[in-house]
A and B are shown apart, each in its own frame.
Chain A
Amino acid sequence: MANIAAQRIKREFKEVIKSEEVAKCAIKVELLNDSYTELKGEIAGPPDTPYEGGNFVLEIKVPETYPFNPPKVRFITKIWHPNISSVTGAICLDILKDQWAAAMTLRTVLLSLQALLSAAEPDDPQDAVVARQYKENLEMFQLTARHWTNVYAGGPHVNSDCDEKIKRLVDMGIEDHQARAALSSYNWDLERATEQLFS
């Protein structure tokens, strides 16, 4: 690994540890190996959003050309968000692609992702299904996102109606996450979800 990248990640680590966001438990970075190429990030769901109370884990891969190229970041925790793939966790965020700047750091990236959670960009979607729901039925989107946060990110809001519907699909032999994804995609319409799953 290029010396400059490792050196910088080391320095950034110190910066993140000292930062007030860590003190407020808003962001967190952990090392996964000694070569500073793979890291684990964590961000707290921002307040007044469906993600409130959730804790989202991220996979951060630092390229050799860092900081001249952006780190590769994706969500490990499953999340219902127009700019994040509900399947792969891939993130659509300009600064992680063509708008990267060499002065950006892990801290600013994590904070940007946190900001992305509170301000989705449905016109530049990563997940078209989620984006459509966001635009057509915001209430349904918020309900779904809150449910996902509860199930995968440890959010406090339990939705018994959703759980009921998932349970019925699971009883039909469908895997739990598959059932949740199908139901979420069809605005929790059990019939259409079943139809889609068995077609």
Chain B
Amino acid sequence: MADSARFQHLERFCIHYFNDRDCPKGEACNYQHKARFEVEKVRHNISEEFFLGRIRTNQRVCRFFRRGNCIHQENCHYRHDNDNSCRNLPRTNSQNNTNRNSNRSNTSTNMPSTSQTSDVVNKNIINKNQTDIDNKENDELNCPNNEEKKKLQSAEEGEEEEEEEGACASPPLNSINDSWVNAPEFVPKSISQARPRSYAEALSPDNIAEINANRKLCPYVNKDGICRNLTDCTYLHGEMCDMCERLILHPYNEEQRKRHRQECIKQHEKNMELSFAIARSKEKSCGVCFEVIMEKAIGEQRFGILPNCNHCFCLSCIRKWRQARQFENKIIRACPECRVTSDFVCPSMYWVDTKEDKEKLIDDYKTALSRKDCKYFKKGQGKCPFGNKCFYLHAFPDGSKCDVGPPPRQRRHRGVDTDIDVLQQVMLWDFLDERDFPWQSLADDLEDLVSFFYRFG
């Protein structure tokens, strides 16, 4: 498989050369002498596999390896921490190792007396086993001689313990047997900054995380989030986002992931809002034509929202009603159902239920109108009868806004009482829909407005 080939490839470099740019074996070294940047480059490539969810496991220390019985050995996906390996090996193994070591050192120094030393070693082992058994017996009997015997034993084992100290922080097995309650706590060897790095660390150094975070995602990923050339592509590939189901999450850049997540949630909320809006609008019928508004012809599926009551009409019907000249203003300004007077009709693609939604809708409507030039003001050339009560934009050609003041009133009404002012306003509103009418007939104009209001998507 390509994956395992890459692993093997990685393991072929010399760790000494990686750490010190120098290898004691020099030219004779069996491993490749690769510069640090080269190894890290390979690591980049390997990180592509992240997207398949495999390499992440490599960051963790293999627990079987810690126990010393990982069957995968070199090919294990988890980290085999070479540096601390011996402390993790079971006691018996290390004992044997140390014995073997001492054996070897003896061999190297005292070549002729091999049999003698081996005898001594064997004796030692036998002795120790004897003392082990003795100790157990003593423990059971709570013998007062225990202390002395312990001293004796430690003297015997002194050499071994000294050797072990550097490699292993765990107490000797027999002292655990002795009184495991008093056993010293496990303290991992402090990791020095200058310490040479292991293979595993070389393959996942900390500084690479930062470099990785700034790497760009594969530009060849198409709309579906799939790179066609996945096996050979050297770019970084995103992880699957479970909301938009696109392979877009940056494997290393937490910020990007968070940002994308928020965008997705926002999008999701928008979609939910839209589906709720559709759900609540679907059944609504117009109080004038009695037709279900969402089932009307395309272009007529618009709601006309009255600001002061909650009765549902289609935009064309309520506008037509408000233009009925055969009735008094009071009648046509009023809701055909409840006769509550509303000053204007707000077009909407969807029905609004709650007060908050409605307020937002009307605000949006007014905002949208306020961006359109008033047809009466004509960028300063005309005069708007609605004054600053007008919903439309009163601005000069250079874009500067103009406050034309309150709508003109007839002098004789001034100061009589406020009712007349209100009446005056209502009268002015009467023109609004009429004025909206040509605007409505300009289909494009209206469409872009409506789409402006209701850009749910």
Give B326's nearest chain A residue, CB to CB: A69
Say yes or no: A102 contacts B339, CB within 8 Å: no
Say yes or no: B337 contacts A7, CB within 8 Å: no
Q: How far is the CB of B269 from chain A (nearest CB, A)?
A: 35
Q: A68-B320, A68-B324 are in contact. Are A102 and B290 (CB under 8 A)?
A: no
Which of A12, A68, A98 lies in contact with B290, CB distance below 8 A? A12
A135 interfacial by beta-carbon distance below 8 Å: no
Number of residues in B with C-beta < 8 Å to the partner?
19
Which of A11, A69, A101 lies in contact with B337, CB distance below 8 A? A101
Categorize the interface residue count of chain A: 10 to 19
With a 10 A CB-CB cut-off, give which of A4, A67, A101, A104 has the most chain B CB atoms.
A101
Point out the residues of chain A lying under 8 angstroms from B291, CB to CB.
Answer: 7, 11
Say yes or no: B327 contacts A103, CB within 8 Å: no
B172 interfacial by beta-carbon distance below 8 Å: no
The binding surface of chain A is classed by DSSP as loop
Q: A4-B289, A7-B291 are in contact. Are A102 and B326 (CB under 8 A)?
A: no
A99 interfacial by beta-carbon distance below 8 Å: yes
Point out the residues of chain A lying under 8 angstroms from B331, CB to CB.
Answer: 98-101
CA distance A46 to B326 in the complex (A): 32
Point out the residues of chain B lying under 8 angstroms from A192, CB to CB.
Answer: none
Point out the residues of chain A lying under 8 angstroms from B335, CB to CB.
Answer: 103
Q: Mark A1-28, 1 if CB is under 8 A from B, else 0.
A: 0001001100110000000000000000
Point out the residues of chain A lying under 8 angstroms from B339, CB to CB.
Answer: 101
Q: How far is the CB of A10 from chain B (nearest CB, A)?
A: 9
Point out the residues of chain B lying under 8 angstroms from A12, CB to CB.
Answer: 290
Point out the residues of chain B lying under 8 angstroms from A7, CB to CB.
Answer: 289-291
Q: A7-B291, A11-B290, A68-B320 are in contact. Are A98 and B336 (CB under 8 A)?
A: no
Q: How far is the CB of A166 from chain B (nearest CB, A)?
A: 43
CA distance A69 to B320 in the complex (A): 11
Give B324's nearest chain A residue, CB to CB: A68
Give A5's nearest chain B residue, CB to CB: B289
Q: How far is the CB of A191 from chain B (nearest CB, A)?
A: 48
B253-303 at interface with A (beta carbon < 8 Å) = 287-291
CA distance A8 to B328 in the complex (A): 24
Could you list some 15 contacts between A and B, CB below 8 A? Answer: A7-B291, A8-B288, A8-B289, A11-B290, A68-B288, A69-B324, A99-B331, A101-B331, A101-B334, A101-B336, A101-B337, A101-B339, A102-B288, A102-B336, A103-B311
Query: Which residues of B come within 8 Å of A, CB atoms?
Result: 287-291, 311, 317, 320-321, 324, 326-328, 331, 334-337, 339
Other than the given A8-B289, A101-B331, 14 more pairs (CB < 8 A) read A4-B289, A11-B290, A12-B290, A67-B288, A99-B331, A100-B327, A100-B331, A101-B337, A101-B339, A102-B317, A103-B311, A103-B336, A103-B337, A104-B336
